[in-house]
Chain A
Amino acid sequence: MRPILLQGHTRSLTQIKYNREGDLLFSCSKDKVANVWYSHNGERLGTYTGHQGAVWTIDVNASSTLLVTGSADNSCKLWEVQTGRCLKTWEFNTAVKRVEFSEDNSMVLCVTEERMGFAGTVTVYPVNNDVNGKQSDTPIVTITNKGGSKAVVAGWTCLDKYIITGHEDGSICQWDWKTNEKVKAITPHEGVLSDMQFSPDRTYFITASKDKIAKIFDSMTLDIKKTYVSDTPLNSAAITPKHQEFVVLGGGQDAMNVTTTSARQGKFESRFYHKILEEEVGRVRGHFGPINTIAVHPDGTSYSSGGEDGYVRVHHFDPDYFTFKLEI
């Protein structure tokens, strides 16, 4: 089926996210705004304006009432999804590169940049899910990877037991956030981590790295369960939750390294791999620049990709997709 093109952002996409039901798709971009769209037809519902810098990251809570964004303007903002009203602004010393609601929606983690003498942190704030309630100014915990490489992505494990952080040097750490202690650390990648997405039950997660490789880890043991080798630096990796045991990878050479023929070469394609067999099963092309972010619909019936080219492409899977089978 032809993809739906979401044209509303004027600069490259940084992150896209579906809400729990998958009827809404949230996107943020370097153009300083976040948008929300109907995922089935690509109609734009609203825009969240207020950030003074590129919006790096976005997340929505399970009831689709609250939206959180992190920006290069050194702040995190909490928004009312329905009205676009900014409910709270948390200020930081440096840019916010990643935000994520905890599984129980009572907290949000914010990954901040290491810059100008400020250490990179993972700061956890409590969230009041009442849109009219008061939001706290006091963080629950601030995690700093002392002496180690800065965190660039992070997420919550099942039951919010641990926070997993992915770092610039390709390492991954598991934190007991309640005691602010590092439980485990491994270095499974040779390049900077670019994305980390969890399975629906958060018992495992996939990482994407500039080293052209994506891997699946056990959230509890950090054992490497699967490895997907591609031929291009990866920016995003997502897991299909239903219908097919696939993962979707996206990336491409950075704009400055892109040759004019790379598009022809298909380095800007979304690549589908069989999650268990680690074999590539298909590609979807369309973007004119690297793919920065990929998200799969919670029903597993469609997926979307956001590119350096400023477009979000929403793809509803063809009937063939659902009947595809590798011979086992």
Chain B
Amino acid sequence: QEHKHALARKVIIERRKEIIETEIARKEKLIAQEKAAAAAKKAEAEKKRVEEDLKRREEERIKRIQDEVQRDQAKRIAEEISSKTGLQLKPEEIENSDVNTLLNLKVSRLQTEQKELSDRLKQISKRIDHTERAYRKEEIPLLEKDYEQ
């Protein structure tokens, strides 16, 4: 009986052991699974982050290039303005404006400049012509006298 009992207990113990082992195994598996899932998730997140980072950087790069192109263009226009008209733009003016505003600026400045130039030239032209005519007008009597001699 005792033996039987002992056997039975042994069996029970074994069983319990098994149960506990299975339980432990199950738990371990679960933990492992959870761990794996977490790792995967983390990896996924990391990947996503890297991708996003890349994308963001790419975008930044493109924007930089675009900005640079824009600035270049603006600078070019500004240079054009200054070379064609002698008009100098301040660096911050170039920095802070896009191509369109610069173009508009160019057009409007060119227009005002053209007007001023043509007004001034008209004045100069008149002055030169009238001075010449006045000289000759006063010179005619002298020429007549000169001829008589």
A and B touch in the complex (CB under 8 A): no
Residues of B within 8 A of A (CB): none
